[in-house]
Chain A
């Protein structure tokens, strides 16, 4: 498979009180077209910074990010970010949120919005506002709003960590079901090893700050995945060993 995203020698540091704080100390990474990569690491290790750089919201000090072979200049609708805090506009209805990324003159925007709302099981909530929905529903609106613009890449920054354990698991299963129907390239940032094993084709473990790639695991499990299986447990133990646990 051709590489969709190629990160080449990424380094990044931030200025703080007395000098610079290196956050990312050289990361090379290639994500294949249609691949689902999870990036896990201890909290504060620079995972989010790495995602921001991959998605074009931040620039590396050294190195480059190429998407489809072209150097990434800034964010684009080709790759939509789904964040932990959520960015469904609370002043717009669910339907207006769905239309946000679409052209107002698009004759089939209604049917497209309708299709994706149906896909996430939220048909009937078109006129609702964010504060009238639960956390899990809101996540699904955000996913539907991203999918409706037909992005090629989904960047997910701890998208489920604000949800309770049950809702998180349920939403994960839902997302996997949807991604199964439409193949996207996915980059998931998480600190939850089980979530990574549940969703990803490949797991990249980052070192503590400044981040480098510490280990890479392939996830050879068939889908849908049984997290209680022996293979999953063995893999989880192996990944956790990288964290010294």
Chain B
């Protein structure tokens, strides 16, 4: 385990080394060395603002993501199961899906102002579509022999859904949730450009605006990367549940 992590760690160290050498060699007055970034992170830790920013960002992502799950999973199941629902809603989903959440920023401000509601709305938009698409795929790819078996036993519609359709689609839904949470975290920085006084996105923009504190900018970026990795690791654990492992190779 530790041995297998060595090449990955070596790449990280190499990158940090190259970064360090470049900054020193170019005598850049603004771009921070890795040491400056560490110092900046410690400074944020000491005055306690780091946890506030992380907490604010996580709260917005969690809220937007959960609303997306509550909307997308039932909608996707319905669209996947009922052909008419698919024909009715799929075109609008496909039309809205390629619009970047960033393009929605002016409308978000117009509708929700500059409080927490705007970034939550943007994060909702970013995660709802991939989740709908994956859920629909999950239902569409249920193997026919399972549906036939359910039909053969003549079970109720409720039982068909609870014990066949939903669990059969669950592995795809989990993949969708992973993708959706990844995109949500990706969008949080842009979404927080319009946030007031908190969040990692705000930290980055504010550090740039308030006196070119690029050490804080890079610190914010690194923290976003690490948090994103932790979130994905958490989502991956769901793939280990016994009731969904049948679908994943390995």
Contacting residues, chain A, for B159 (C-beta < 8 A): 100
| Contact present for A101 and B153 (CB under 8 Å) | yes
Listed in ascending order, the chain B residues whose CB lies under 8 Å from chain A are 143, 145-146, 148-155, 159, 163-164, 167-168, 170, 242-247
Q: How far is the CA of A92 from the CA of B155 in the complex (A)?
A: 16
Of the candidate stretches A8-16, A80-88, A179-187, A210-218, the one touching chain B is: A80-88
- Specify the chain A residue showing the minimal Cβ separation from B241: A91
B112 to chain A, nearest CB (A): 39
- Main DSSP-derived SS at the B contact region: helix
Contacting residues, chain B, for A57 (C-beta < 8 A): 148, 151
- Residue from B143, B152, B168, B244 within 8 A of A77 (CB atoms): B152
Could you mark each residue 70-103 of chain A with 1 if its beta carbon is under 8 Å from any beta carbon of chain B, else 0? 0000111100110101110111100010001100
Asked if A81 meets B246 with Cβ closer than 8 Å, knowing A89-B164, A91-B168, the reply is no
Contacting residues, chain A, for B242 (C-beta < 8 A): 129
CB contacts under 8 Å to B, within A124-139, are 129-131
| Contact present for B149 and A87 (CB under 8 Å) | yes
Contacts A/B (CB < 8 Å), 26 sampled: A55-B152, A57-B151, A75-B151, A76-B152, A77-B153, A80-B153, A81-B148, A81-B149, A83-B145, A86-B145, A87-B145, A87-B149, A89-B146, A89-B167, A90-B246, A90-B247, A91-B167, A91-B170, A91-B243, A91-B246, A100-B150, A100-B155, A101-B153, A129-B243, A130-B246, A131-B246
| Contact present for B146 and A87 (CB under 8 Å) | yes
Instruction: Assess whether A6 is interfacial by the CB under 8 Å rule.
Output: no
Q: How far is the CA of A77 from the CA of B159 in the complex (A)?
A: 15
| Contact present for A76 and B154 (CB under 8 Å) | yes
Instruction: Assess whether A117 is interfacial by the CB under 8 Å rule.
Output: no
Further pairs besides A74-B151, A101-B154, A131-B245: 4, Cβ < 8 Å:
A80-B152, A87-B149, A89-B164, A90-B247
